[in-house]
Chain A
Amino acid sequence: MTDILDISRPFTAYDRPADAETERAVTRFLNAEARTLDREAYQEWLDHFVDEDIHYWMPDMETRNRSDARGPYRHGDSAYFDDTLSELKVRVARFVEPSAWADNPATRHLHLISNIEVYETGDPSLLAVCSAFTNVRNRNETDQDVIHGRREDVLRRHGDDFRLARRRILIVQNVLLSKNLNTFL
């Protein structure tokens, strides 16, 4: 496996920005993905945005001293998501059940995506994409959950489009300030 596909290795040395046209296309892809998630169209998300070999990882963020060699997160330890496609499908299968009470009545979702940077990698079929997000969920009358974080995505070229091959989600919260995580980030 090339380094870029190793989920445990955060992006470091990508310094060749993609051309403007690629960057526009990636931005369109990420915005369309965000809108798809806002609509809770999870099956569509799996079908049109996610690649077969997806690895979708969101580690727990620990508060550690700077000198601690372990760092704030580590692959193989506790995580919110560490999913392949088959595991994402199970989560989606729950969302679409009529008895998914935490989603009925519907949650109002907003995925704000910004700070998009697109880099070429050693593999012409793969792009390294950084972005930041604000995720807002509002339910019932006044229940509101906000999560901020960064994503490190590996996008695979797919004809004129892209598919998500890797997503590393690093949130800024240590204690998740929410009762659940009924969304994808």
Chain B
Amino acid sequence: MTMCRGSCQGAGRPDMTPVYPTAGSYPDFARLVNRDTAQVDRRVFSDEAVYQAELRQIFARAWLFLAHESQIPGPGDFIRTSMGEDDVIIVRQRDGSVKALLNSCPHRGNRVCMVDAGSKARGFICNYHGWSFGLDGGLRGTDGKVYEKDESFEKAQIGLTPVAQVASYKGLIFGTFDPEAPSLEEFLGDFTFYLDIMLDNEEGGTEFVGGAIRSEIDCNWKFPAENFVGDILHAFWTHQSGAQAILGGGVDLGKRYDELAFQASVYGHGIETNLDKVGNTRTLGYPELVDYVFDLSERARARLGEVRARAIGAVSSATVFPNMSFLPGQNTFRVWHPRGPGKIELVSWTIVNRNAPERIKDLYRKGVMMTFSPGGVFEMDDGENWEYSTRVNQGFVTRQQPLHYALGLGSEDLERNLPGIVHKGSLNDANQRLFYTRWAEFMEHDNWADLQNGATAAPARTRAAAE
């Protein structure tokens, strides 16, 4: 497209078709993760060029968590969120479907939605020149109809750029900017087996408690994501003070650790769990919730089977690649939005079963606040660790030193009849290695055929277990 040079002939009308970026290939960055030696090069946490590649290769392609269905129950209900650093509006349509739209006016680029959320909107109007858009993102009109009076103005093809694909899995709405991305269920793969521990442990599914807690941490987004994907180890040291305050003792992985505890990973998504039934729930500090989860676990056996029923409230944590995490039993649910290589915005919610008694929902809200919010006795001590793990890499020599991810080498469990790549024991770096392997796959591959058939795919023998 060229601008006119003073003798406009009307030949260069703007083509306002949405632009979806294509992926590239960054083999040099992929090699920063060394699977053979179980090491990660610190430049993945500090390098601006790596970060820009992440926005292109990962955040512009992967399915990203957008909203819970319960946050936008009716037509015109909307929330604003991020996909990578892209600002997006998630809005319920009149026909009940959900659209996700880039929050940027196609005229001069200003945001058209300035608020966190709202209900029963009829559309979005840009504050700059009054361009107004319908719930579907289509341009409805401009202030004073000045543009409309111009014959060459093609209103019908102008709108807020839609996120290329939007889909839900059991209440969670995801989107991807990649029209070529496989379906959400293919992207999640057999990890849905583990998501159901939280999302489908009883009839009626889940909902979010209202509002959200937002905070900034000066860390690389991958430190919290890897922490939730499979680092229960840190709980003993980092969270000694919180455990002491609430439990009067240390973190307890349950009686049959060697037999029960495991990590499972599919496409870099991962869960670590100890199957101790209520270890996570117990840390919320309300005996009533522990009783509730014991009952829930009993009832869920028929629905989920023995392993997953034991995991509902167990000491466990999970991340869906790249940046959505949750804690079963503690019911905190969160997204780590990247804001440059050294900063994140953390948005966290409390997730509860829709059919749980109101009293139980409120105890979860209070329990999450007591543990996993900025003033919570556990989250309190996480931030500084991640900040300094990130910040020290300003040191030129420091960032040449590789990081050690070698706990649990050779611990893969080839016997256990569970979906995904399964490792014995929850005290293991296995899921974190697979998280970074997935990261490297996204850096390396420019196509989904390679992305979905690499080292992080679940072995065929375990897929049957997910059926």
Contacts and interface: CB of A to CB of B under 8 A. Distances in A.
12 contacts: A60-B214, A62-B115, A78-B213, A80-B213, A82-B365, A93-B245, A98-B241, A99-B237, A99-B244, A101-B384, A102-B381, A174-B214
Given A64-B117, A68-B119, A101-B238, A91 B377 contact: yes
Contacts of A93: 244-246
Interface in A86-106: 87, 90-91, 93-94, 97-102
A58 B215 CA distance: 14
Interface stretch (A113-121, A123-131, A177-185): A177-185
Interface in A146-163: none
A139 B383 CA distance: 13
Interface string B236-255: 01101110111000000000
Q: Report, as a range, how many residues of chain A touch the other chain.
A: 35 or more
A175 B369 contact: no
Interface string B191-221: 0000000000000000001111111111100
B377 A179 contact: no
B374 interface: yes
Contact of B244 (A58, A73, A82, A97): A97
B216 A77 contact: no
Given A63-B114, A180-B375, A94 B241 contact: yes
A101 B386 CA distance: 13
B350 A78 contact: yes
Given A62-B115, A102-B380, 14 more contacts: A59-B211, A76-B362, A79-B365, A87-B370, A93-B244, A93-B245, A94-B244, A101-B381, A174-B214, A179-B216, A179-B383, A180-B215, A180-B379, A180-B383
A174 B216 CA distance: 11
A166 B117 CA distance: 29
Given A60-B213, A177-B216, A79 B369 contact: yes
A166 B285 CA distance: 23
B366 interface: yes
Pick the most buried of A64, A80, A99, A179: most chain B CB atoms within 10 A of its CB. A179
Interface of A: 58-60, 62-65, 68, 70, 73-74, 76-83, 87, 90-91, 93-94, 97-102, 139, 143, 174-182
B370 A100 contact: no
Nearest to A183: B375
A65 B115 CA distance: 6
B212 A90 contact: no
Contacts of B375: 58, 80-81, 91, 180-182
Interface string B422-438: 00000000000000000
A179 B213 contact: no
A143 B383 CA distance: 12
A97 B245 contact: yes
Pick the most buried of B117, B210, B214, B370: most chain A CB atoms within 10 A of its CB. B214
Contacts of A63: 114-116
A102 B381 CA distance: 5
B370 A91 contact: yes
Interface of B: 114-119, 209-219, 237-238, 240-242, 244-246, 285, 345, 349-350, 362, 365-366, 369-370, 373-375, 377, 379-381, 383-385, 387
A168 to B, nearest CB: 15
A179 B209 CA distance: 22
Contacts of B345: 175
- Top 4 A-B residue pairs of the complex, sorted by shortest distance between their CB atoms: A179-B383, A78-B211, A97-B241, A77-B211
A74 B375 CA distance: 19
Nearest to B121: A65
Pick the most buried of A58, A59, A87: most chain B CB atoms within 10 A of its CB. A87
Contacts of B210: 74, 76-78
A171 B118 CA distance: 21
A22 B103 CA distance: 52
Contact of B384 (A77, A80, A91, A179): A179
Nearest to A175: B214
Contacts of B114: 63
A91 B114 CA distance: 35
A136 to B, nearest CB: 16
Pick the most buried of B240, B285, B362: most chain A CB atoms within 10 A of its CB. B240
B118 A68 contact: yes
B246 A68 contact: no
Contact of B387 (A68, A175, A179): A179
A73 B237 CA distance: 35
Nearest to B377: A94
A174 B117 CA distance: 13
Nearest to B218: A179
Given A179-B218, A180-B379, A181-B374, A100 B213 contact: no
Contacts of B240: 97, 99
